């Protein structure tokens, strides 16, 4: 399958390891991974902050970049960016775009997937042959959970990772408090939510807190770092891309 990687703006710039892991994982699974260099950002920050006309060029750019018919699927290591493509692009296109853009947006959104969805629903794989000998807890980010309804797909994938010690996160489905510009506009409330999330992460005794969204991990990781807690954050893709080094390699 010819799979285009959507690295997302924050993934490309700040958290390239999650995008690298996605590319390597899908390549290892036998797919032809391409990175259309015209890609930038899905526009979620603009839409969620109230700037819909400003999101239009980004929606257009996304549709143009991934509209290429040789691309079978677009995969992003981010539930919230895929959520934006799926639920917001049409709203922006219908309000401010042309009829042809509306059509393009519909076509492209239908082939855009979050990583765990793509692996489980499209490829039918729950064991990706990963090896990760660590204690891990998983935070199911809000947009993956409630916009995309990925359900337990990430957990199905994690349960099949060799030697992983997967521990349940208490109150896993409560928001970490990031919410994009919410973290700045309502910094104190955001911090109060983060404090509870970090307490729950600490309760698991995990070495790694994992999630399917780099932005939520930036928030949780930012708090863990400030408190100098030992727990590290890691994107789901990075765990799934980890393999036991071969003897001959």
Query: In a 3-state reduction of DSSP, which class is residue 235?
Result: strand
Under the criterion CB under 8 A, does residue 174 sit at the interface with other proteins?
yes
Contact predicate 38/175, CB 8 Å: no
Taking the C-alpha atoms of residue 36 and residue 68, their distance in angstroms, rounded to an integer, is: 9
Under the criterion CB under 8 A, does residue 28 sit at the interface with other proteins?
yes
Contact predicate 248/225, CB 8 Å: no
Instruction: Candidates 27-35, 106-114, 132-140, 205-213: pick the segment binding other proteins (CB under 8 A).
Output: 27-35
When binding is defined by CB under 8 A, the residue of 3, 4, 7, 155 that contacts other proteins is 7
Instruction: Candidates 57-65, 67-75, 110-118, 132-140: pick the segment binding other proteins (CB under 8 A).
Output: 57-65
Cα dist from 33 to 158, 174, 201, 227, whole Å: 22, 34, 34, 38
Under the criterion CB under 8 A, does residue 178 sit at the interface with other proteins?
yes
When binding is defined by CB under 8 A, the residue of 69, 99, 188, 245 that contacts other proteins is 188
Instruction: Candidates 46-54, 150-158, 159-167, 202-210: pick the segment binding other proteins (CB under 8 A).
Output: 46-54
Q: Which residues pair with 235 in a beta bridge?
A: 211
Q: Which is nearer to other proteins, 44 or 166 (CB)?
A: 44
Contact predicate 26/73, CB 8 Å: no
Query: In a 3-state reduction of DSSP, which class is residue 75?
Result: strand
Under the criterion CB under 8 A, does residue 63 sit at the interface with other proteins?
no
Q: What are phi and psi of 96, to 5 degrees?
A: -125, -10
**Rounded least distance, CB 206 to other proteins, Å:** 19
Q: Site map for other proteins, 103-142, x if CB under 8 A?
A: ---------------------------------------x
When binding is defined by CB under 8 A, the residue of 181, 199, 203, 230 that contacts other proteins is 181
When binding is defined by CB under 8 A, the residue of 2, 14, 168, 205 that contacts other proteins is 14
Contact predicate 222/216, CB 8 Å: no
Taking the C-alpha atoms of residue 171 and residue 12, their distance in angstroms, rounded to an integer, is: 30
């Amino acid at each position: 399958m010819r799979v285009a990687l959507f690295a997302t703006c924050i993934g490309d710039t700040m958290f390239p390891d999650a995008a690298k892991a996605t590319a390597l994982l899908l390549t290892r699974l036998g797919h032809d991974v391409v990175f259309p260099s015209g890609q930038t950002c899905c526009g979620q920050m603009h839409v969620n902050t109230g700037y819909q006309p400003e999101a239009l060029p980004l929606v257009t750019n996304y549709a143009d970049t991934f509209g290429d018919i040789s691309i079978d699927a677009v995969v992003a290591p981010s539930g919230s960016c895929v959520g934006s493509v799926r639920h917001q692009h049409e709203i922006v296109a219908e309000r401010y775009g042309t009829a042809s853009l509306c059509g393009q947006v519909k076509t492209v959104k239908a082939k855009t997937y979050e990583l765990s969805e793509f692996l489980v629903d499209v490829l039918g794989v729950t064991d990706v042959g990963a090896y990760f000998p660590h204690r891990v807890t998983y935070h199911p980010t809000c947009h993956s959970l409630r916009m995309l309804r990925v359900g337990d797909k990430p957990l199905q994938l994690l349960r099949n990772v060799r030697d992983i010690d997967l521990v349940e996160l208490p109150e896993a489905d409560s928001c970490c408090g990031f919410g994009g510009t919410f973290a700045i506009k309502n910094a104190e409330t955001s911090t109060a939510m983060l404090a509870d999330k970090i307490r729950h992460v600490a309760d698991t005794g995990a070495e790694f807190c994992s999630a399917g969204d780099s932005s939520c991990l930036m928030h949780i990781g930012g708090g863990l770092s400030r408190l100098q807690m030992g727990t590290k954050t890691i994107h789901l893709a990075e765990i799934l891309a980890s393999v036991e080094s071969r003897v001959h390699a």
